[in-house]
Amino acid sequence: MPYALLALLLLALVFGPQWWAQYTFRRHARPHPRLPGTGGELARHLLDRFGMTDVAVEVTQPGQDHYDPESRTVRLSPDNHDGRSLTAVAVAAHEVGHAIQHRRGDPLLRWRGRLVRWAHGAQRFGAGATLLIPVLAVISRSPAVGLLMLAVGLGSMLLATLVHLVTLPVELDASFNKALPILAEGYLPADELPAARRILRAAALTYLAASLASLLHLGRWLVLLRRAG
């Protein structure tokens, strides 16, 4: 019974924040009569205000809102780019917060970019290794080849975990040290700031859930390896 409760608790920790975030986004996604512009218009205004006229604003797929430091582009989903809702303006301000981090040379954002590139490289290497290493194992009949495959897999998981752990403080900074203070300067009515804070907190919780899921996945493999040893 305790194991079942622990499993339910872990599932709640991983999937609960994602459900809560989606609920919060939907709750505040209706058109707001006191907002003078859309999320895309706010993003463009803020980028110009902070001297980032070279940063573009584009529409992307639903649920794929992000700032791309490589192409210097803020990408917003259709509802957030064209919508006049609290969710739209909060998400737009959050993504502009990442552009501000990039402009100011935020060290955590730089490290996250490096780790993402390394993680993608490790995934491509791992995909090739899973095809090549079994062939080498059959030819050489050496247990060292199996250990090499295991090391490649664990290394890839470790990099993915590091990406999630570094991403969380980056997202919190973009939300609460960048977006929320900007919105409080008069872009939102004062009585709507608590709702904006809830939206930004819900967005951060999704990254917390991703970090926990990655840690649990890595920990499960370490436990299995310890038992096997």
- pLDDT block averages, 10 residues each, the chain of length 229: 60 70 90 91 97 96 90 96 96 95 90 71 58 58 58 64 75 93 93 94 73 62 56
pTM metric for this prediction: 0.76
pLDDT of residue 210: 64
Secondary structure letter of residue 191 according to DSSP:
G
Buried/exposed code over 34-55 (b: 16+ C-beta within 10 A; e: otherwise): ebeebbbbbbbebbeebebeeb
Q: Taking a C-beta distance cutoff of 8 angstroms, is the pair 58, 108 a contact?
A: no
Q: What angle do CA 205, 207, 213 make, to 5 degrees?
A: 105
Question: Can you give the pLDDT at residue 29?
Answer: 93
d(CA 2, CA 199): 34
Listing from the earlier edge strand, what are the strands of the sheet with 73-76?
56-59, 73-76, 66-68
Residue 159: predicted pLDDT: 65
* pLDDT confidence of residue 125: 59
At residue 139, the pLDDT reads: 65
Environment class of 85 (CB within 10 Å of its CB; exposed 0-12, middle 13-18, buried 19+)? buried
Joined together, the tokens standing for residue 90 give 């909060």
**Distance of alpha carbon 221 from alpha carbon 218, whole angstroms:** 5
- Residues carrying an active site annotation: 95
**Which is nearest to 192 in space by CA: 33, 7, 1, 64?**
33
As a whole number of angstroms, the longest Cα–Cα distance in the chain is 71
